[in-house]
Structure 1
């Protein structure tokens, strides 16, 4: 039995709907492996650049405490800027 796709309020947005994301980088300059940071921080995607930048402004200290040294902002596959250090 095929069920209809859930309405947008009940499903995760796809990358086309939320193209902005932060690449989390460790001290060696490598992407932080999946499972290294809390699930609430991993894989976050945003509808626009402002939302992405607001989120990093609110969470940078928590990310740094979990071992993230820097972040790189992307829109889809395009690097927008970074790496940007999370050190105080």
Structure 2
């Protein structure tokens, strides 16, 4: 299995893709550590893929406002 993130604008336009991770845990840890840098690069949301299959998303990188 290969795990990757797609990087998207808030409207769902794909603007990039992450490196490949060997496990879901590695992919999730990476996005948790890098989300601030991703936001600075103009990435609003991400989707996690296992190969070509979408696992979940879109997941916003912005803080929730309650």
Give unpaired runs (5+ residues) of structure 1: 1-15, 35-41
Within 5 Å, give how 1:56-75 maps onto structure 2.
56-75=31-50
Indicate the residue corresponding to 2:10 in structure 1.
27
Tell me the distance in 1 between the aligned counterparts of 2:49 and 2:27: 10
| CA deviation after TM superposition for structure 1 residue 43, in Å | 3.5
| CA deviation after TM superposition for structure 1 residue 44, in Å | 0.8
- The TM-score, its normalising length taken from structure 2, stands at 0.87
- The TM-score, its normalising length taken from structure 1, stands at 0.67
Give unpaired runs (5+ residues) of structure 2: none
Within 5 Å, give how 1:1-88 maps onto structure 2.
19-32=2-15, 34=16, 42-88=17-63
Residues paired across the two proteins, number: 63
Higher alpha-carbon Rg = 1
Would you tell me which structure has more strand in proportion to its own residues? 2
For residues 54-80 of structure 1, give each alpha carbon's deviation from its aligned partner in whole angstroms, at most 9, with x where no partner exists.
Answer: 000000010011100000000000000
